[in-house]
C-alpha cells in the first residue's frame, strides 16, 4: 500500500479510538495476568447456605493490584471479609478492596481474610469445584476454581 494511502487510513475518524481500545484491552489483560491465585478451597458447612473460600494471591507484576470484588455463580452474594479478634471477641467485617503490592503474596486463610459466599444456590459437596471470579480495579478479572473440603479437613 502506498505511504499516502496508509497516512489517509490512520486519519479515519474511527482509527484513533480503535487503536486506543486495542491498547487498553491489551493493558487490562496483562494487568489481570500479573495476579496469580493458587490453593483455592472452600470449607463446606453441612446445612448452611454460607461458606468461606480461602486462597493465596501473588502479584508478579511491577504495579500494585487491587481486588475490589468477587462473584460466583454458586452464591447470590460473594464478598471479601476479614475476621479480627479484639479483647477475646471475634468479629467479621467486609473489606472493600485488597491491595497486593508488586512481588507480594497475600494469603486468605481461616481466622483472617477470606471470601464469604452467602445464599448458596445449592449445598456444596466435598470434592466439588466452585468457580470464583476476582474483580480487579480497572476492570480486569481473574477466574479461579476452588475445591470444596469437608468441615474439619484443612
What CATH number should be reported for the domain holding residue 77? 2.60.40.1890
- 18 in a structural domain: no
pLDDT of residue 154: 67
- 14 in a structural domain: no
pLDDT tens digits for range 88-135 = 887 888 889 999 999 999 999 999 999 999 999 999 999 999 999 999
CB 35 within 8 A of CB 55: no
- 19 in a structural domain: no
DSSP state of 63: S
- 126 in a structural domain: yes
- 39 in a structural domain: yes
Q: How far apart are CA 37 and CA 58, in angstroms?
A: 6
Q: How far apart are CA 48 and CA 30, in angstroms?
A: 38
Confidence of residue 27 (pLDDT cuts 50, 70, 90): very low
Query: How many structural domains are present in the chain?
Result: 1
- 22 in a structural domain: no
- 100 in a structural domain: yes
- 12 in a structural domain: no
Q: By C-alpha distance, which of 128, 105, 107 is closest to 58?
A: 105
What's the predicted TM-score (pTM) here? 0.76
Confidence of residue 7 (pLDDT cuts 50, 70, 90): very low
Residues 6+ apart with CB under 8 A from 26: none
Amino acid at each position: 500500500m502506498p505511504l499516502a494511502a496508509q497516512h489517509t487510513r490512520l486519519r479515519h475518524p474511527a482509527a484513533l479510538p480503535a487503536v486506543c481500545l486495542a491498547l487498553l484491552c491489551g493493558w487490562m489483560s496483562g494487568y489481570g495476568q500479573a495476579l496469580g491465585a493458587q490453593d483455592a478451597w472452600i470449607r463446606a458447612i453441612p446445612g448452611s447456605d454460607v461458606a468461606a473460600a480461602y486462597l493465596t494471591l501473588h502479584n508478579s507484576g511491577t504495579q500494585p493490584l487491587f481486588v475490589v470484588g468477587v462473584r460466583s455463580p454458586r452464591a447470590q452474594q460473594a464478598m471479601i471479609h476479614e475476621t479480627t479478634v479484639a479483647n477475646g471477641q471475634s468479629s467479621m467485617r467486609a473489606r472493600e478492596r485488597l491491595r497486593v503490592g508488586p512481588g507480594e503474596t497475600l494469603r486468605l486463610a481461616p481466622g483472617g481474610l477470606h471470601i464469604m459466599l452467602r445464599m448458596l444456590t445449592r449445598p456444596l459437596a466435598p470434592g466439588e469445584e466452585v468457580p470464583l471470579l476476582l474483580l480487579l480495579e480497572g476492570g480486569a478479572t481473574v477466574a479461579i476454581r476452588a475445591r470444596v473440603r469437608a468441615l474439619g479437613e484443612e
